[in-house]
Chains A and B, each alone.
Chain A
């Protein structure tokens, strides 16, 4: 595995934790990211509200997805920072996925394939 191998981190977190996670990642020197507002449900099947004996299931709860393409070496640091900042200990804290990235090209700079220049 070459040193420059790139990974994409996709983290689904609570929207209210975004500011803290951004800060923690910046402190870990991991700055570039793309953020999307998404809706999601986990294996816990959403939130179940009891309503006059009737059950109401709220699935697809608002979440935030952070995407960042980083060096393989930085993956543990990123996961650590996200966990430390986004964890409440309750269901719905989210998940982090790591995907292989085959190529990354800078739009501004020519001939910058795969290097994160």
Chain B
């Protein structure tokens, strides 16, 4: 239980890097919606960050990382951060808590994809509080907090399951409950500001170095490996998606940045277990399957508006399984299918399936509960004039 000043300094910085990903999501999504909903989309990310920051201090951290109760949830011993102090294993417990908090926050921000341009702000605050409590906290406990999944040996280095599967598949359930945007499928809803989306993507890519390398929880070789494979998979995903969309027309810049996010989402669970060569494959495959997931989503006329499901849900699922395929014992101490150990793949499959089912089902229940009591959606008129004016009383038209 000795503190390491190098590790502590590193994780302090990584916490700040990951924090920047939440407004990054806001910019990314903000550019993709219509002009009248830009402020709303950006604000939802900040609201998500603020709601989770408070929830985490009150009891969220304790539910995720408190003493295990039956393998499914943490106890409330650390509610109000009781017993979370300056001491810790390598880094102060207080810093570990803060580092985990920014992960929980960005996960809720990702899910706002599903409700873009039609969510009632007050209902989102209630939903966000519920969702983080009932979906994120238990999943984090299962995998990272000493729950049943970690006991089985299911691995998730930086959040392929806890962040990306939960947000992506949760977004799908949420989109089904809230319903399509008015006019979806009848006329185009083109992104109103592509450079803003690219800037948001840049902040995500940048922040992801803190997200994945920081998940080593130490400034060491594993962190360096995580950073290298993270960048490699992002680049591979960007080129793969761009290439696939090139065949069908023009290589869109939104496709390129979406591919990068797909690669980043997929490498997240595996970053501490695979080598850079595997990261190329993981990234390319992720770029391709997420692209085709998006096309499928559109062909089914599903309004999971900004594709958290296609990119984070599908990419995170692939990455969680890819860990079981490409893991190298010399890096993270675990071997995958390719190096002769199929057992880990089976474990990853169980973990991914359980998390996916849980996230989808419980998100659906949370969304339905809020919808039946408070109503998730704004009125038709409010949706028509846009959420900037109807929810915030503001407009980017000065």
**Cα-based distance from A51 to B249 in the complex (angstroms):** 8
Contacts of B249 in A (CB 8 A): 51, 54
**How far apart are A85's CB and chain B's nearest CB, in angstroms?**
31
**Cα-based distance from A103 to B50 in the complex (angstroms):** 56
**Cα-based distance from A56 to B250 in the complex (angstroms):** 10
**Cα-based distance from A56 to B249 in the complex (angstroms):** 9
Contacts of A56 in B (CB 8 A): 250
**Interface 1/0s, chain A 46-84, versus B by CB < 8 A?**
000001001010000000000000000000000000000
Contacts of A51 in B (CB 8 A): 249-250
- Total interface residues on B, using CB and 8 Å? 2
**How far apart are B187's CB and chain A's nearest CB, in angstroms?**
16
**How far apart are B162's CB and chain A's nearest CB, in angstroms?**
42
**How far apart are A57's CB and chain B's nearest CB, in angstroms?**
13
Contacts of A54 in B (CB 8 A): 249
**How far apart are B190's CB and chain A's nearest CB, in angstroms?**
12
**Interface 1/0s, chain A 16-54, versus B by CB < 8 A?**
000000000000000000000000000000000001001
Chain B residue, CB-CB nearest to A54: B249
Within 8 A of A (CB), among B313-368: none
Contacts of B250 in A (CB 8 A): 51, 56
**Cα-based distance from A109 to B250 in the complex (angstroms):** 55
**Cα-based distance from A51 to B248 in the complex (angstroms):** 11
**Cα-based distance from A54 to B250 in the complex (angstroms):** 11
**How far apart are A56's CB and chain B's nearest CB, in angstroms?**
8
**Cα-based distance from A51 to B250 in the complex (angstroms):** 9
Chain B residue, CB-CB nearest to A51: B250
**Cα-based distance from A54 to B247 in the complex (angstroms):** 11
**Cα-based distance from A54 to B246 in the complex (angstroms):** 12
**Interface 1/0s, chain B 289-319, versus A by CB < 8 A?**
0000000000000000000000000000000
**Interface 1/0s, chain B 244-262, versus A by CB < 8 A?**
0000011000000000000
**How far apart are B179's CB and chain A's nearest CB, in angstroms?**
32
Chain A residue, CB-CB nearest to B247: A52
**How far apart are A10's CB and chain B's nearest CB, in angstroms?**
24
**Interface 1/0s, chain B 128-153, versus A by CB < 8 A?**
00000000000000000000000000
Chain A residue, CB-CB nearest to B246: A52
Chain B residue, CB-CB nearest to A49: B250
Within 8 A of A (CB), among B221-275: 249-250
**Cα-based distance from A54 to B248 in the complex (angstroms):** 10
**Cα-based distance from A51 to B251 in the complex (angstroms):** 12
**Cα-based distance from A56 to B251 in the complex (angstroms):** 13
**How far apart are A70's CB and chain B's nearest CB, in angstroms?**
30
**How far apart are A68's CB and chain B's nearest CB, in angstroms?**
25
**Cα-based distance from A22 to B249 in the complex (angstroms):** 39
**How far apart are A52's CB and chain B's nearest CB, in angstroms?**
9
**Cα-based distance from A105 to B68 in the complex (angstroms):** 79
**How far apart are B133's CB and chain A's nearest CB, in angstroms?**
48
**Cα-based distance from A117 to B249 in the complex (angstroms):** 55
**Cα-based distance from A51 to B245 in the complex (angstroms):** 14
**Cα-based distance from A88 to B250 in the complex (angstroms):** 29
**How far apart are A35's CB and chain B's nearest CB, in angstroms?**
18
**Cα-based distance from A86 to B280 in the complex (angstroms):** 51
**Cα-based distance from A69 to B249 in the complex (angstroms):** 45
**How far apart are A47's CB and chain B's nearest CB, in angstroms?**
14
**Cα-based distance from A92 to B249 in the complex (angstroms):** 26
**How far apart are A110's CB and chain B's nearest CB, in angstroms?**
29
**How far apart are B242's CB and chain A's nearest CB, in angstroms?**
15
Within 8 A of B (CB), among A93-115: none
Binding site for A on B (CB under 8 A): 249-250
Provide 4 A-B residue pairs closer than 8 Å at the C-beta atoms, listed in order of the A residue: A51-B249, A51-B250, A54-B249, A56-B250
Binding site for B on A (CB under 8 A): 51, 54, 56
In the A-B complex, the 4 residue pairs with the closest CB atoms: A51-B250, A56-B250, A54-B249, A51-B249
